[in-house]
């Protein structure tokens, strides 16, 4: 174990490990901040749905020999707006609307992978993620996006909280609901695309959901819930990378399981009134 | 000054007409009890005025401005019939009431001391001051309803619209709440529209009655209602007498 941690600190001298830690930390902040609004608005699975769309877009990118992230960003953003429109115009429940878009994304991905053939290995690396192979470009993208998200959330914090509390009341307070929803979905779509390199398409939604449901077990105010969620999320990334490197485990899955452990601990604290 | 002006308003819901060609106005200082049978379109009428439902025809003016150009939403306090709240929303009662100030605040401004004092005043008025630091998930239905009413009042609204706000209140609290509304109307000249099924009870406090059943059946003072022959024939003498007796 000690040898393992030594190896981890040795590893930090390498560029790939530094990039993994930096981009992982920023993606953790992004996902926990945005995920809070989704979880409380019963839109948790939008991350899962958009991740499935990302699968289809990555397949298109590989097929066209274009960097998959560049293809995935516009397609995922448009799909996010599509989910919103489906909810508004067809009066579908959010989970059903997400299911419609999600299944379309997966079907397209499987179809292209099957027709084209030969790039299954590339596609699998996106499905399961590999944080240790994050490029400089992806790292800078995650840093820039994190700042964009944080500034946006600070600017629209009161409106976002108000809409999350009760949409109708927020609208009568003069808040432009559609504009705020569009901004939120735009940021989430880009976050999902960037997160797939860290935890993989299969586990992206857990990044958006787990730290937030863990924080909601113990936090009594919105701002405290966000702080707890972000702290748990960042800690799970740092600790997850260390553990996975030390014990040669898949990084994305390790991070998610640590998040799950936090959720179990905070649930236990809530059930036993440990903090009261 | 007209607080609300509605001209030839028509609303459809899933291809069915809810009401059509409705026109009326509400003047500053009015206190109107809006009554009518279930499904008569009372809540839809209010939601259309508040821009929550799109009409297919007609125009609405709030404080003499067309609804599309109206920006002073802090002038309006609204308590809806049903709330679609997240069961796990992490907020204290005080924070929920403060959300009513969202249209008054600039991006980075903190809640002013005067607003904090008003929050305490309103929580005291609603008799839930002792619960101000409690999480909203721990409140009873009646306590939550009172917190939402305090939220509607926190921005010092000039128009207060309440959609059956007393359904979760016990009789004593309901009585005190109606007295509070009357005080707001009399002392602060707040215009009030109260959707209610208790027409007779509302008559003790409201100045006017609007009886709505997909159209405006009656709109005027309670005295006019009570002396109206046409209302006797519409409701039957006994029903009119019950409302007027309570009034």
Per-residue confidence band for A251, with pLDDT thresholds at 50, 70 and 90: confident
Instruction: Determine which of A35, A166, A218, A223 to mutate to test the interface with B (most B C-beta atoms within 10 Å).
Output: A166
B80 contacts in chain A (CB < 8 Å): 168-169
Spell out the residues 6+ positions from residue B114 whose beta carbon is closer than 8 angstroms to its own.
none
A118: left (phi over 0), alpha (psi -120 to 50) or beta: left
Q: At what angle do helices A177-195 and A68-90 cross, to 10 degrees?
A: 150
B102 contacts in chain A (CB < 8 Å): 158-159, 162, 170, 173-175
**B102 vs A159: CB contact, 8 Å cut-off?**
yes
**B151 vs A169: CB contact, 8 Å cut-off?**
yes
The mean pLDDT value for B88-97 works out to: 89
- Identify which of B196, B244, B238 has the alpha carbon closest to the alpha carbon of residue B224: B244
| Distance of alpha carbon A134 from alpha carbon B35, whole angstroms | 64
| Distance of alpha carbon A223 from alpha carbon A206, whole angstroms | 21
B16 phi/psi in degrees, rounded to 5: -110, 135
The mean pLDDT value for A130-138 works out to: 82
| Distance of alpha carbon A23 from alpha carbon A236, whole angstroms | 13
Partner residues linked to B162 by β-bridges: B79, B194
pLDDT digits (tens, 9 = 90+) for A159-200: 899 999 998 999 998 888 889 999 999 999 989 988 887 778
Whether residue A64 is predicted with pLDDT greater than 60 in this model: the reply is: yes
Whether the CB of A118 is below 8 Å from some CB of chain B: the reply is no
pLDDT value at position A1?
46
Average pLDDT over chain B, rounded to an integer: 87
Smallest CA–CA distance, residue A231 to chain B, in Å, is 17
pLDDT digits (tens, 9 = 90+) for B182-210: 988 998 899 999 998 877 777 778 889 99
Whether the CB of A169 is below 8 Å from some CB of chain B: the reply is yes
Q: Which range is least confidently modeled, A91-95, B127-131, B240-244?
A: B240-244
Whether residue B111 is predicted with pLDDT greater than 90 in this model: the reply is: no
Other CB atoms within 10 Å distance of the CB of residue A254: 22
**A221 vs B51: CB contact, 8 Å cut-off?**
no
pLDDT value at position B201?
73
A75: left (phi over 0), alpha (psi -120 to 50) or beta: alpha
Other CB atoms within 10 Å distance of the CB of residue A21: 19
**B90 vs A172: CB contact, 8 Å cut-off?**
no
Whether residue B155 is predicted with pLDDT greater than 80 in this model: the reply is: yes
- Identify which of B34, B33, B32, B29 has the alpha carbon closest to the alpha carbon of residue B1: B29
B78 contacts in chain A (CB < 8 Å): 169, 172
Quick one: how far is CA A206 from the chain centroid?
7
Spell out the residues 6+ positions from residue A100 whose beta carbon is closer than 8 angstroms to its own.
A86, A92
Whether the CB of B95 is below 8 Å from some CB of chain A: the reply is yes
DSSP state of A203: G
| Distance of alpha carbon B241 from alpha carbon A90, whole angstroms | 47
Whether residue B23 is predicted with pLDDT greater than 60 in this model: the reply is: yes
B245 phi/psi in degrees, rounded to 5: -65, -45
A149 phi/psi in degrees, rounded to 5: -65, -45
Among A166, A172, A216, the residue with its CB nearest the CB of B76 is A172
Buried b (16+ CB within 10 A) or exposed e, A108-136: bbeebbeeeeebeeebebbbbbbbbebee
Specify whether the CB–CB gap between B169 and B177 falls below 8 A: yes
- Identify which of A213, A192, A225, A227 has the alpha carbon closest to the alpha carbon of residue A261: A213
Pair of tokens at residue B206: 């409201």
Smallest CA–CA distance, residue B31 to chain A, in Å, is 20
Whether residue B171 is predicted with pLDDT greater than 50 in this model: the reply is: yes
Specify whether the CB–CB gap between B33 and B207 falls below 8 A: no
Whether the CB of A151 is below 8 Å from some CB of chain B: the reply is no
Whether the CB of A178 is below 8 Å from some CB of chain B: the reply is no
**Residue, of B157 and A135, whose pLDDT is higher:** B157
Specify whether the CB–CB gap between A195 and A204 falls below 8 A: yes
How many residues are listed for chain A in this entry?
Answer: 276
How many beta-carbon pairs below 8 A join chains A and B? Answer: 75
pLDDT above 90 covers a percentage of chain B that reads 42
Other CB atoms within 10 Å distance of the CB of residue A215: 27
pLDDT above 90 covers a percentage of chain A that reads 29
Whether residue A5 is predicted with pLDDT greater than 70 in this model: the reply is: no
Whether the CB of B239 is below 8 Å from some CB of chain A: the reply is no
DSSP state of B206: -
Whether the CB of A168 is below 8 Å from some CB of chain B: the reply is yes
Q: Which range is least confidently modeled, A34-38, A105-109, B185-189?
A: A105-109
A25 phi/psi in degrees, rounded to 5: -65, -45
Whether the CB of A93 is below 8 Å from some CB of chain B: the reply is no
Whether residue B145 is predicted with pLDDT greater than 70 in this model: the reply is: yes
Smallest CA–CA distance, residue A74 to chain B, in Å, is 30
Whether the CB of B78 is below 8 Å from some CB of chain A: the reply is yes
Whether residue B50 is predicted with pLDDT greater than 70 in this model: the reply is: yes
**A171 vs B52: CB contact, 8 Å cut-off?**
yes
Tell me the pairing of strands B65-66 and B57-62.
antiparallel
pLDDT above 70 covers a percentage of chain B that reads 93
**B95 vs A168: CB contact, 8 Å cut-off?**
no
B50 phi/psi in degrees, rounded to 5: -90, 10
Specify whether the CB–CB gap between B62 and B3 falls below 8 A: yes
Specify whether the CB–CB gap between A24 and A131 falls below 8 A: yes
The mean pLDDT value for B112-129 works out to: 89
Partner residues linked to B192 by β-bridges: B31, B160
What does each C-alpha distance from A65 to A48, A60, A70 come to in angstroms?
25, 8, 11
Per-residue confidence band for B158, with pLDDT thresholds at 50, 70 and 90: very high
**A165 vs B96: CB contact, 8 Å cut-off?**
yes
B105 phi/psi in degrees, rounded to 5: -95, 145
Partner residues linked to B2 by β-bridges: B27
Buried b (16+ CB within 10 A) or exposed e, A149-178: beebbeebebbbbbbbbbbbbbbbbbbeee
Whether residue B37 is predicted with pLDDT greater than 50 in this model: the reply is: yes
**Residue, of A123 and A102, whose pLDDT is higher:** A102
pLDDT value at position A65?
85
| Residue of chain A whose Cα is closest to the Cα of B108 | A155
| Distance of alpha carbon B22 from alpha carbon B220, whole angstroms | 15
Helix (H/G/I), strand (E/B), else coil: B207: coil
Spell out the residues 6+ positions from residue B156 whose beta carbon is closer than 8 angstroms to its own.
B74, B118, B188
Whether residue A139 is predicted with pLDDT greater than 80 in this model: the reply is: yes
Burial of B42 (0-12, 13-18, 19+ CB in 10 A): buried
Smallest CA–CA distance, residue A156 to chain B, in Å, is 7
Whether the CB of A216 is below 8 Å from some CB of chain B: the reply is yes
| pTM score of the predicted model | 0.84
B10: left (phi over 0), alpha (psi -120 to 50) or beta: beta
DSSP state of B61: E
Whether residue A204 is predicted with pLDDT greater than 90 in this model: the reply is: no
**B85 vs A165: CB contact, 8 Å cut-off?**
yes
**B103 vs A173: CB contact, 8 Å cut-off?**
yes
**Residue, of A5 and B33, whose pLDDT is higher:** B33
Q: Which range is least confidently modeled, A81-90, A139-148, B107-116, B184-193?
A: B107-116
| Residue of chain B whose Cα is closest to the Cα of A167 | B84
The mean pLDDT value for B8-15 works out to: 88
**A221 vs B90: CB contact, 8 Å cut-off?**
yes
């Amino acid at each position: 174990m000690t040898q393992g941690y030594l190896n981890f600190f040795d590893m930090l001298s390498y560029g790939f490990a530094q990039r993994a830690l930096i981009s992982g930390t920023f993606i953790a902040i992004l996902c926990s901040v945005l995920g809070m609004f989704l979880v409380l608005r019963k839109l948790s699975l939008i991350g899962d749905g958009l991740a499935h769309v990302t699968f289809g877009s990555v397949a298109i990118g590989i097929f066209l020999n274009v960097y998959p992230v560049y293809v995935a960003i516009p397609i995922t953003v448009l799909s996010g707006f599509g989910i919103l429109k489906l909810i508004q115009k067809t009066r579908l429940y959010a989970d059903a609307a997400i299911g419609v878009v999600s299944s379309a994304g997966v079907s397209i991905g499987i179809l292209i992978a099957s027709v084209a053939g030969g790039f299954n290995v590339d596609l699998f690396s996106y499905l399961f993620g590999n944080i240790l192979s994050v490029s400089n470009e992806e790292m800078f993208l995650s840093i820039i996006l994190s700042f964009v998200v944080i500034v946006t959330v600070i600017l629209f914090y009161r409106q976002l909280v108000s809409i999350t509390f009760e949409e109708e009341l927020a609208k009568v307070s003069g808040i432009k609901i559609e504009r705020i929803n569009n901004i939120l979905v735009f940021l989430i779509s880009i976050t999902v695309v960037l997160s797939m390199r860290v935890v993989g398409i299969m586990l992206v939604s857990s990044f958006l959901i787990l730290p937030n449901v863990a924080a909601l077990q113990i936090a009594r105010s919105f701002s405290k819930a966000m702080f707890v969620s972000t702290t748990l999320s960042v800690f799970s990334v740092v600790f997850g990378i260390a553990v996975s490197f030390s014990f040669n485990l898949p990084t994305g899955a390790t991070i998610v399981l640590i998040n799950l452990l936090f959720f179990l601990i905070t649930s236990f604290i809530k059930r036993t009134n440990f903090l009261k | 000054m007209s607080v609300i002006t509605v001209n030839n308003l028509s609303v459809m819901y899933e291809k069915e007409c809810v009401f059509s060609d409705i026109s009326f106005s509400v003047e500053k200082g009015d206190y109107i009890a809006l009554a009518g049978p279930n499904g008569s379109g009372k809540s839809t009428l209010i939601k259309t005025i508040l821009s929550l439902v799109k009409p297919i025809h007609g125009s609405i003016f709030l404080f003499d401005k067309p609804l599309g150009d109206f920006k002073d939403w802090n002038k309006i306090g609204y308590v809806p019939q049903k709330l679609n709240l997240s069961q796990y929303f992490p907020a204290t009662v005080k924070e929920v009431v403060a959300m009513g100030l969202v249209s008054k605040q600039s991006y980075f401004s903190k809640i002013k001391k005067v607003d904090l004092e008003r929050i305490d005043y309103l929580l005291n008025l609603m008799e839930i001051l002792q619960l101000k630091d409690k999480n909203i998930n721990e409140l009873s239905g009646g306590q939550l309803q009172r917190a939402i009413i305090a939220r509607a009042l926190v921005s010092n609204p000039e128009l207060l619209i309440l959609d059956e706000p007393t359904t979760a209140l016990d009789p004593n609290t309901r009585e005190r709440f109606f007295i509070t509304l009357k005080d707001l109307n009399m002392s602060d000249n707040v215009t009030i529209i109260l959707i209610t099924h208790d027409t007779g009870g509302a008559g003790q406090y409201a100045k006017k009655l609007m009886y709505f059943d997909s159209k405006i059946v009656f709109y005027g003072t309670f005295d006019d209602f009570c002396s109206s022959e046409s209302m006797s024939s519409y409701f039957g003498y006994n029903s009119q007498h019950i409302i007027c007796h309570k009034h």
